[in-house]
């Protein structure tokens, strides 16, 4: 079954470069650090990182002990400035055998799956369990509201500590991938209509934090006293475009959009597999 791996089989050793003092290390889930990868395209004959993707794992209901793995990112990472699909895309990974950085090809945006209820939402997902690569996954059980343990009220979310992840290359001679962690606090926990340049209006929550184009698509987590919860996808483009009370804040596409997209893909994949002789 394409897109199926043994649950928990993708655990790896972790390397972290913190963007803030090491005192924040205890505020990061070590299990999430290798869940991210850079989305890469070609510009001026060079490959450059243009956004972030992350891996989500959803347990199969039909094949116990197995799961589907998806690469998720902000849809605008797959488009050029005119909103057209980029012709060349890769995901940057670390080879499990050699530790070397490698770029695996990705299909153009029309081959990805969009949100089944709102195809204008800035999310795209693809069945993509990397072969012989070092990566971890974010289980669906970590999503905000997925179960009793991830239920956090709006009032509890406001002011909560948050962090988001991206991946960068370190070293010129023998480059290695390093997870970069940045921190912020939740400012707006109720989804609010906001414009994302190049993609249009979105329902976004907001946090304070740094912004750069390659952060778009990064997974955002919030932490309570007892747990880490996946909160949504970073929309780096909103930092300089939001006006009024939202000026300077970074948008986050809620985790619910990710959940409904990958769950729809699971249902479709299981129907396809179940219909085969």
Summary mean pLDDT of the chain: 84
Task: Indicate whether 30 pLDDT > 60.
Answer: yes
Q: What pLDDT was estimated at residue 239?
A: 62
Highest mean pLDDT range out of 18-22, 61-65, 240-244, 267-271? 267-271
Q: What angle do CA 93, 95, 97 make, to 5 degrees?
A: 165
Q: Are 4 and 60 in contact (CB under 8 A)?
A: yes
**Mean pLDDT over residues 199-212, rounded?**
87
Per cent of the chain over pLDDT 90 is 56
Q: Are 56 and 140 in contact (CB under 8 A)?
A: yes
pLDDT-based confidence at residue 115 (cuts at 50, 70, 90): very high
Among the residue ranges 23-27, 56-60, 103-107, 228-232, the one predicted with the least confidence is 23-27
- pLDDT tens for 6-26 read 332 222 222 233 333 333 456
Termini Cα distance of the chain = 13
**Mean pLDDT over residues 242-271, rounded?**
86
- pLDDT tens for 44-57 read 889 999 999 999 99
Structure tokens at 65: 């002990």
Task: Indicate whether 38 pLDDT > 90.
Answer: yes
The pairing of strands 46-59 and 36-43 is antiparallel
Task: Indicate whether 277 pLDDT > 50.
Answer: no
Among the residue ranges 9-18, 169-178, 243-252, the one predicted with the least confidence is 9-18
**Mean pLDDT over residues 113-141, rounded?**
93
Q: How far is CA 81 from CA 92, 129, 199, 207, in A?
A: 22, 29, 10, 25
Task: Indicate whether 213 pLDDT > 50.
Answer: yes
Task: Indicate whether 127 pLDDT > 60.
Answer: yes
Q: What pLDDT was estimated at residue 17?
A: 36
Q: What pLDDT was estimated at residue 244?
A: 67
Structure tokens at 186: 């939740």
Q: What pLDDT was estimated at residue 194?
A: 86
């Amino acid at each position: 079954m394409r897109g199926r791996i043994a649950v928990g089989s993708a655990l790896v050793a972790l390397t972290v470069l913190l963007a803030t003092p090491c005192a924040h290390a205890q505020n990061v889930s070590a299990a999430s650090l290798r869940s991210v990868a850079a989305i890469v395209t070609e510009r001026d004959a060079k490959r450059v990182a243009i956004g972030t993707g992350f891996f989500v794992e959803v347990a199969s209901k039909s094949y116990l002990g197995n799961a589907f793995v998806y690469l998720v990112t902000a849809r605008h990472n797959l488009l050029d400035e005119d909103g057209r699909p980029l012709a060349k895309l890769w995901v940057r990974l670390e080879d499990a055998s050699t530790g070397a950085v490698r770029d695996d090809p990705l299909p153009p945006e029309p081959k990805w799956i969009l949100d089944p209820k709102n195809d204008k939402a800035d999310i795209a997902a693809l069945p993509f369990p990397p072969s012989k690569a070092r990566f971890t996954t974010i289980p669906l059980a970590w999503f905000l509201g997925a179960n009793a343990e991830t239920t956090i009220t709006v009032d509890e979310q406001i002011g909560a500590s948050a962090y988001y992840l991206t991946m960068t290359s370190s070293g010129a001679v023998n480059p290695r991938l390093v997870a970069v962690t940045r921190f912020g606090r939740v400012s707006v926990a109720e989804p609010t209509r906001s414009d994302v340049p190049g993609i249009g209006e979105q329902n976004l929550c907001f946090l304070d934090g740094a912004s750069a184009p390659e952060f778009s698509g990064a997974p955002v987590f919030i932490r309570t006293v007892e747990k880490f919860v996946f909160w949504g996808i970073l929309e780096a483009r909103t930092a300089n475009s939001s006006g009024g009370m939202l000026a300077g804040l970074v948008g986050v596409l809620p985790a619910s959009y990710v959940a409904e997209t990958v769950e729809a893909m699971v249902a479709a994949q299981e129907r396809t597999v179940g219909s085969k002789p």
